[in-house]
């Protein structure tokens, strides 16, 4: 009967994707030109996805720029974004071999601006051949974009699908010694704070008895059903803090997803802090978020989950729960936040410190791997508006993508191979491991899924940006860690190039359980960790962390000035954790931005007041909204300071924003941890100082601003 029901359920779920949109093929590809005007305007700047850099030629006719797409591909469009020095006469030419050319478009009446040219033909090489300049200067392009079908019609093609590698452990109810394997991995990972091990446990649908899955660092556990109740563990999925003497504040980088649990004692323990998601879970009992002994804890995040009993918050300093159902909640400490949660406590900030929104404005749950019979697929849930409660009551709504449409990335894969897979139209499934990349991973196709298992970790070399996403619809980034390299990267993750302007409201890009780390595992540097230029992006649970402990840690050793910088409009962050940056942790330039739950600690290791002096302002705000912004809103936002090198340091404020009718904040707080430094105000010049609290770690709160 259960098998028949599952088959019926799967039958009504969409199993195919809509026709793919044209793919941006040219970004980051090899490019040459007839000339360069001067140093700083190379040909590569026309295909870098950055609308503020350009190629310009010598001031003579003719001139050309040529991009190599890597394989012969069916083309559909060329977009030329001219600088003021435009081409009045030019041809767009195609070639399969780089020597024999055909004309796909030509004009003698170009007028500059942006030329969007619909073309047809197949080519590996595309050339813009300028025959007449429109000004006295050379030809100059901000961007040269070529679109077409993914993949090529010649050369070796990378296969989709395949096995999941040695660090993915797949069980069914008949698998022998499951507990022994769980214990073995936990013994390796319990205290492997900055280790190299990466593991994913996958449980096929069915019932598993008498298990205690203790989850250590860089370990994920997931069910392979379409719904959590398809896979039931009569036992526990446990995180505790014995390795750290009962202190759970460093229980990072792990996850549990898509399972039902019947806890042995009636209550499951999940004592975590940042970067530890609890998604799409059904706890048939209570959930305890504190370590045994009820020591310190600094979490955390729950989404799309049902907890039949009470969630015991206990010592958790802050927590965000989204689109879930709970039987109750205990204790508030500093900042407990709920959006779209059935059974959540009423909004009561500042005492108890509950901030409750009845719905989440926009959400789309994280993609996940599941089994359709014996076939692996990735399910991509659909977008929800004003969501409340779990997404999996009834038939899950979304799209299934077969694993054969994914390049299964394994340790040793190069960035060039990964980019080739993307250019073929494949999605990416990173298996658990560490990936060193010497060039940017370019995600240029709409609706691409990039999914990591077991906290797969990407480390850029040579100062490159680890990953860039084009300004396209519906990209899903989920479940991986980006670790800064030893050479400073200007950015580690970019969503959209600068000056992106596409409307993605109907199908936004999502960034979910994507974490960034600078230092800790070793020296690393990045000027900005995440830059969001596209509109309508949803950032759903991220921890962006400049390390305050571990290897390669010091004020200049792991220098990182900015955590998250948002330039796109209508960007929504649900569960934003950003900590310890040398300057601003978050800066927001886009209009109509919204953040639901923000957790921050200022950089512990500032050597003195002068090191963080910001003009006439003492310290850089934890979250700054630019003065140009007219509309912005934030809920449940906290910043903590622990200046343990110089406890006399003062922050003028935790938050900075323009005073305008459209800029609003709710439930703000700042905390001095043990009196190690203090805040003079909560936001701008509003809100009480933490100085009177002394060393008591009593927050200064502000119900609303202005």
* Residue 601 annotated as catalytic: yes
What sections of 230-345 are H helices per DSSP? none
Distances (CA, A) of 490 to 89, 361, 465, 472, 543: 36, 32, 7, 22, 19
Between CA 663 and CA 705 the distance in angstroms is 8
Q: What is the DSSP letter of 697?
A: -
Give residues with Cβ within 8 angstroms of 580, minimum separation 6.
545, 546, 547, 548, 601, 602, 603, 604, 605
Catalytic residue among 551, 556, 601, 633: 601
CB contact at 8 A, 491 and 530: yes
Give residues with Cβ within 8 angstroms of 556, minimum separation 6.
none
φ, ψ for residue 187, nearest 5 deg: -60, -35
Whether the bond into 603 is cis, omega within 30 of 0: no
Q: Is 661 helix (H, G, I), strand (E, B) or coil?
A: coil
Backbone CA torsion sign across 604, 610, 611, 615: positive
Residue 55's beta-bridge partner residues? 141
φ, ψ for residue 431, nearest 5 deg: -75, 160
Q: What is the CA radius of gyration of the chain?
A: 26
Which of 428, 597, 581 minimizes the C-alpha distance to 516? 581
Helix (H) / strand (E) containing 40 = none
CA 9 from centre of chain? 31
Give residues with Cβ within 8 angstroms of 19, minimum separation 6.
none
Backbone CA torsion sign across 132, 134, 135, 137: negative
Whether the bond into 597 is cis, omega within 30 of 0: no
End-to-end Cα spacing for the chain: 58
Whether the bond into 215 is cis, omega within 30 of 0: no
E-strand ranges in 438-504 read: 441-443, 449-460, 467-469, 476-483, 489-495
Residue 231's beta-bridge partner residues? 206
With helix as H, strand as E and coil as C, how does 505-551 read? CCCCCEEEEEEEEECEECCCCEEEEEEECCCCCEEEEEEEEECCCCE
Residue 631 is encoded by which pair of tokens?
């509309």
Burial classification of residue 436, based on how many CB atoms lie within 10 Å of its CB (0-12 exposed, 13-18 middle, 19 or more buried): middle
Helix (H) / strand (E) containing 348 = none
CB contact at 8 A, 214 and 207: no
Residue 538 is encoded by which pair of tokens?
């949803």
Tokens 């390299």 correspond to 485
Between CA 97 and CA 181 the distance in angstroms is 53
Which residues are known catalytic residues? 601
């Amino acid at each position: 009967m259960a098998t028949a029901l599952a088959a019926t359920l799967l039958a009504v779920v969409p199993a195919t994707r809509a026709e793919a949109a044209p793919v941006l093929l040219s970004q980051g590809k090899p490019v040459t030109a007839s000339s360069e005007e001067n140093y700083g305007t190379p040909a590569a700047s026309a295909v870098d996805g950055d609308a503020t850099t350009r190629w310009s030629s010598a001031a003579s006719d003719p001139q050309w720029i040529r991009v190599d797409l890597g394989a012969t591909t069916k083309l559909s469009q060329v977009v030329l974004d001219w600088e003021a020095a435009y081409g009045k006469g030019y041809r767009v030419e195609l070639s399969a071999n780089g020597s024999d050319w055909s004309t796909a478009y030509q004009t003698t009446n170009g007028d500059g601006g942006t030329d969007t040219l619909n073309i047809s033909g197949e080519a590996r090489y595309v050339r813009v051949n300028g025959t007449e300049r429109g000004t006295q200067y050379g030809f100059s392009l901000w961007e040269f974009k070529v679109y077409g079908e993914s993949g090529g019609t010649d050369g070796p093609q990378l296969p989709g699908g395949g096995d999941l590698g040695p660090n993915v452990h797949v069980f069914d109810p008949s698998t022998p010694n499951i507990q022994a394997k769980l214990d073995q991995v936990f013994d390796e990972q319990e205290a492997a704070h900055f280790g190299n091990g990466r593991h994913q446990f996958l449980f096929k649908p069915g019932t598993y008895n008498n298990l205690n899955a203790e989850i250590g660092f860089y370990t994920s556990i997931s069910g392979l059903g379409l719904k959590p109740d398809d896979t039931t563990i009569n036992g526990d999925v446990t995180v505790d803090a014995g390795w750290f003497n009962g202190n759970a504040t460093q229980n990072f980088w792990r996850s549990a997803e898509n399972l039902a649990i019947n806890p042995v004692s009636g209550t499951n323990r999940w004592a975590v802090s940042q970067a530890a998601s609890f998604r799409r879970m059904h706890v048939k009992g209570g959930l305890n978020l504190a370590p045994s002994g009820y020591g310190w804890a600094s979490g955390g995040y729950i989404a799309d989950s049902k907890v039949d009993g009470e969630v015991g918050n206990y010592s958790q300093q802050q927590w965000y729960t989204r689109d879930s159902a709970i039987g109750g909640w205990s204790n508030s400490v500093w900042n407990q936040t709920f959006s779209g949660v059935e059974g959540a406590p009423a909004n009561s900030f500042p005492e108890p410190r509950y901030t409750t929104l009845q719905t989440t404005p926009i959400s789309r749950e994280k993609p996940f791997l599941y089994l359709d019979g014996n076939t692996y697929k990735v399910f991509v849930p659909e977008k929800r508006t004003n969501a409340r409660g779990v997404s999996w009551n009834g038939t899950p709504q979304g799209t299934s993508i077969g694993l054969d449409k994914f390049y299964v990335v394994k340790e040793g894969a190069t960035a060039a191979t990964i980019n080739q897979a993307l250019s073929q139209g494949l999605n990416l499934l990173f298996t658990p491991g560490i990936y060193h990349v010497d060039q940017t991973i370019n995600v240029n196709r709409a609706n691409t899924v990039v999914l990591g298992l077991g906290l797969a970790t990407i480390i850029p070399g040579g100062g490159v940006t680890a990953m860039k996403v084009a300004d396209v619809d519906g990209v899903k980034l989920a479940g991986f860690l980006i670790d800064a390299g030893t050479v400073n990267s200007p950015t580690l993750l970019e969503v959209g190039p600068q000056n992106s302007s596409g409307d993605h409201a109907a199908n936004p890009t999502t960034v979910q359980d994507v974490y960034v780390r600078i230092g800790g595992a070793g020296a690393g540097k990045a000027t900005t960790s995440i830059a969001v230029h596209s509109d309508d992006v949803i950032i759903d649970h991220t921890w962006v962390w400049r390390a305050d402990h571990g290897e390669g840690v010091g004020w200049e050793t792991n220098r990182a000035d900015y955590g998250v910088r948002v330039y796109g409009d209508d960007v929504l962050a649900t569960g934003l954790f950003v900590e310890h940056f040398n300057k601003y942790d978050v800066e927001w330039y886009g209009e109509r931005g919204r953040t639901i739950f923000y957790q921050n600690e200022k950089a512990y290791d500032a050597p003195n007041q002068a090191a963080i002096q910001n003009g006439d302002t003492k310290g850089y705000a934890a979250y700054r909204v630019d003065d140009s912004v007219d509309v912005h809103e934030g809920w449940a936002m906290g910043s903590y300071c622990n200046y343990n090198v110089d406890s006399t340091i003062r922050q003028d404020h935790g938050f900075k924003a323009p005073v305008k009718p459209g800029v609003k904040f709710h439930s703000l707080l700042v905390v001095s941890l043990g009196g190690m430094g203090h805040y003079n105000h909560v936001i701008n010049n509003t809100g009480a100082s933490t100085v009177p609290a002394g060393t008591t770690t009593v927050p200064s709160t502000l119900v609303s601003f202005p």
